[in-house]
Amino acid sequence: MSPYFFDAGRIEPSPDVSPSCPNKRRPECGSSFCFPVLIPRDPDLALLHSSDSSAFPVSGLLLQICSRSRFLASPLWSRRNRTRDMEKSSTLLIHFDKGSAAMANEIKEALEGNGAEAKIDAMKKAVMLLLNGETLPQLFITIVRYVLPSEDHTVQKLLLLYLEIIDKTDARGRVLPEMILICQNLRNNLQHPNEYIRGVTLRFLCRLSEPEILEPLVPSVLANLDHRHPFVRRHALLAISAIYRLPGQAGEQLIPDAPELVEKALASEQDPSARRNAFLMLASCAQARAVAYLLSQTHHVPDWGELHQMTALDLIRKVCRSNPAEKGKYIKIIISLLNSSSAAVVYESAGTLVSLSSAPTAIRAAANTYCQLLVSQSDNNVKLIVLDRLNELKSSHREIMVDLIMDVLRALSSPNLDITRKTLDIALELITSRNVDEVVLLLKKEVVKTQSTELEKNGEYRQMLVQAIHSCAIKFPVVASTVVHLLMDFLGDTNVASATDVVLFVREIIEGNPKLRVSIITRLLDTFYQIRAARVISCALWIIGEYCLSVPEVESGFEVIKQSLGDLPFYSAAEEGATADASKKPLQINSSVTVSSKRPMVLADGTYATQSAASEIALSAPPVLPGSSGSPGNLRSLILSGDFFVGAVVSCTLTKLVLRLKEVHISKSEANKACTGALLIMTSLLQLGLSSFLPHPIDNDSYDRILLCIRLLCNKDDKVQKIWLQSCHQSFTEMLAEKQFREAEDIKDKAQVSYAQPDDLIDFYHLKSRKGMSQLELEDEVQDDLKRATGEFMKDGDDANKLNRILQLTGFSDPVYAEAYVTVHHYDIVLDVTVINRTKDTLQNLCLELATMGDLKLVDRPQNYTLASQSSKQIRANIKVSSTETGVIFGNIVYETSNVLERIVVVLNDIHIDIMDYISPATCADTQFRNMWAEFEWENKVAVNTIIQHEKEFLDHIIKSTNMKCLTPL
């Protein structure tokens, strides 16, 4: 198998092909081992680092990535060569099968032969061995004698790979004398008549960091700036940029006039890739020249290539970050790039515009751009990232986003549930009285679509839509009448979670909208027979018992329940004996309540019951069981399957209906008749539960509740009757009021309250000079003044909190002082380490070495730095958390000085990451909490030894200690 070589040094979408490249690949290639790689369209994820240490996003391009690279087909991301115990990075990795290792003598013999194929194979093996830790010092002279004179392009390419990875310096850092032998060959290649040879050699020079080797090659490199072929010119610009940016003053000494030469080449260059490379060099090495060129080309920026435009945006961000007062010059350029044909450029332009300007016009333009990307891009990752940006805009510019709510909701056309969920979350916070009717109409259409189309996740999507409509109806009760009857059609939905949300929505609407009570009760009684889920039936029965107030409604409720229960008794003595043997076999019952397991479930009243082992997702038609006649009703099916909790709810509902009849003063005979019918149903339930007809007897809680209902109907008590008919309803009303109060408090907590100091400077906008300012710049000035006046620029609270989270890593007497600020965000830990050189020497190759213990993982290794005397450096390290376990971060700072050959190590104090650092109080719906409790089996019994005597005090202590929130109001 041929090894895979990747090169991120130059990636261009240009379709032109070098006429003399032997592989007939792109001019950037220079390798016979190319293969296509699809870069994702996600602009945040598709970020490739080029050989000139710049970065540019690539969006949806099918590229050929080849030759030497930092992105490789190897399970490792970096290779570490050790020289004097010092680690250094490598620009090349190649897949290597250790089972096919070749001996150095075999490679030497193949190189000394005359066949080009044999030399190619030998050079490949040599490169792979060197990259995997082998040392082949005896091959250098052989390669100089037999490989250097070869005219084969593939051999020359492998020769450059070999020269790139071998050590070119001795133990003291001086260039090896034999390296001079390759300088003449490199000079010849730079003057070669074939542009392919020139280009790959220029690219090779980007990897060299030894001034002694580069110095005699500088004139040849500069001469290639005027070559006729753009492939050579673009790589010559890369080589000049790499040489000029050599550490220390070496680069400036080799090419002191590099910025002038590059600027001159940029003015006359026509090739888009070469112009981008030249502009990138000026942006990184001569920012003032790059800015002058950018401002002179303001009207031509939209015609630049994608990568060139991305470089311009990067330059604008850097300039405005260092000098915010200059941002007005670049706003027009950014807005012009919003119409670019490249999605990556459009995305970056919108992000840059939001970061630089607070003007309503600019924010609206950026938001419109994000909405267009949301619809035009098919990649789900792109949609999610764009939704994140829109969510950020919603937090800081809600008034502008309110007008774009319908554009945001267009993302509901995506079949991905994560996208639809995030879209609905954003839209629900943008709803106002002006747009609520339009939003609810759209949501209703989406609900109808889920009923007409057959998709795999229709049930979950419908549940999200129901919850969204529920939220709209609670905030704006005026729309409740337009949606409640439509949603009641889904009470019999096969997706139990969706049906549960519908019935909970109906329960709140009927309480908050008394005018809708009659129509809702009538519709509920009509659709009651369609309900199959136990949880939905329980809630529907409670609604019938609480809100059937008139005599016709109570009588209709009685009739519906009787028909759903079927004939009484539920079984006969003969059937009990006939099913005694059959009960030993597994019964096929309604899938909504399957064979019970031992897993506990938290009921609505806080008690425990046995949780069903199967999720109530797909409900089948109820089978005909013994004791039923024909097709049984929904209540009868559930009760005969052993769900006596539903039987207890039926008993409570019948009790309320009987008491309601007595309250409305109907004839005594009618009331007694209804009471007798209710008692017959309750006793039949008890008889069924205590018999051997079902494999599982009735649970104690349901038995006690049914017995309580029987006693209440047999013994009149006005106080108890008042509790059942008034106090229960009052408790529900208080629960809703408490819920609304908590939601209002959460909104207040989220609201950002800013204060300005009394002695802050006031900048009067009307006294400013408006000469030469556009309308957008004027708006931006106004917004900045408003922010400054309201204290939005003040960060004192954050700074004070930051001081409390600083950890000292070294002692005050250590030569290097270090302290870290730890930021914990969900599953990411960011260490901002400040390192101060307290010595009088310059510290070279200073490196922060970190290691982790526990479920922590260091994402990237901090690079080496050179720290002058009495200077400081900010180093950032990212750490991923994979579980909520306590972890430890430890490490040391390693550096060198010119006086001491050995490396000096300063051991750091350990950083303990506690689980409490990434726990924050949150809220959760009751239904969602019970589902998660049943799914994850969170309950554990822990023995507690405490001196606290009261339960409320102990609960408060637990909440404070664990940084959690109590969901149940006390």
In terms of Cβ atoms closer than 10 Å to its own Cβ (0-12, 13-18, 19+), residue 376 is exposed
CA distance 97 to 95: 7
Q: pLDDT tens for residues 928-939?
A: 777 777 776 666
The encoded tokens of residue 616 equal 């109530």
The per-residue pLDDT for range 387-438, each reduced to its tens digit, is 999 999 988 888 889 999 999 999 998 888 899 999 999 998 899 888 888 9
pLDDT digits (tens, 9 = 90+) for 273-301: 999 999 999 998 888 999 999 999 888 89
What percent of the chain clears pLDDT 70, i.e. is strictly above it?
75
CA distance 614 to 688: 24
Confidence of residue 617 (pLDDT cuts 50, 70, 90): very low
- For the cut 80, the answer to whether the pLDDT of residue 143 exceeds it is yes
Kind and range of the H or E element at 37?
strand 35-38
Check: CB of residue 219 under 8 Å from CB of residue 259. Answer: no
Peptide bond into 256 cis (omega under 30): no
Higher pLDDT, 102 or 39: 102
Q: Is the pLDDT of residue 5 over 50?
A: no
User: What does the pLDDT read at residue 593?
Assistant: 39
Q: pLDDT tens across 434-483, in order?
A: 888 899 899 988 888 887 766 667 778 888 888 888 888 888 888 888 88
Residue 602: strand, helix, or coil: strand
Mean pLDDT of 234-244: 92
Query: Residue 68: its pLDDT value, please?
Result: 29
Measured CA to CA, the distance from residue 164 to residue 166 in angstroms comes to: 6
Provide the mean pLDDT of the chain. 76
Catalogue the long-range contacts made by 121-126 (C-beta closer than 8 Å, 24 or more residues apart).
123/147, 123/155, 123/158, 123/159, 123/161, 123/162, 124/2, 124/3, 124/158, 125/101, 126/162
Residue of higher predicted confidence among 512 and 54: 512
**According to the model, what pLDDT value does residue 20 have?**
38
pLDDT digits 0-9 by tens, 773-824: 565 666 666 666 666 555 554 444 445 556 667 889 999 889 999 999 888 7
Residue 184 has pLDDT above 90, yes or no: no
Higher pLDDT, 551 or 717: 551
Give the pLDDT band (50/70/90) at residue 171. Answer: confident
pLDDT digits 0-9 by tens, 640-659: 888 889 999 999 999 999 88
178, 210 Cβ separation under 8 angstroms? no
Asked whether residue 900 carries a pLDDT value surpassing 50, the answer given is yes
Residue 47 has what pLDDT?
A: 29
Q: How far apart, in whole angstroms, are the C-alpha atoms of residue 882 and residue 801?
A: 26
What is the b/e burial string over 239-256, where b = at least 16 CB atoms within 10 angstroms of the residue's CB? Answer: bbbbbbbbeeebbbebbe
Question: Confidence class of residue 327 from pLDDT cuts 50, 70 and 90?
Answer: confident
Do the bridges between strand 86-88 and strand 81-83 make them parallel or antiparallel, or are there none, so unpaired? antiparallel
Tens digits of per-residue pLDDT, 6-16? Answer: 333 333 333 33
Handedness of CA 203, 209, 213, 217 (dihedral sign): positive
What are the DSSP calls for 117-178, one per residue?
A: HHHHHHHHHHHHHHHTT---TTHHHHHHHHTTT---HHHHHHHHHHHHHS--B-TTSPBPGG
Helix then strand count (H, E) for the chain reads: 39, 18
pLDDT-based confidence at residue 373 (cuts at 50, 70, 90)? very high
d(CA 279, CA 291): 10
The residue assigned the tokens 């990237």 is 860
What confidence category does residue 960 fall into, taking pLDDT thresholds of 50, 70 and 90? Answer: confident
What average pLDDT does this structure show over 366-391? 91
- Which has more pLDDT, 144 or 861? 144
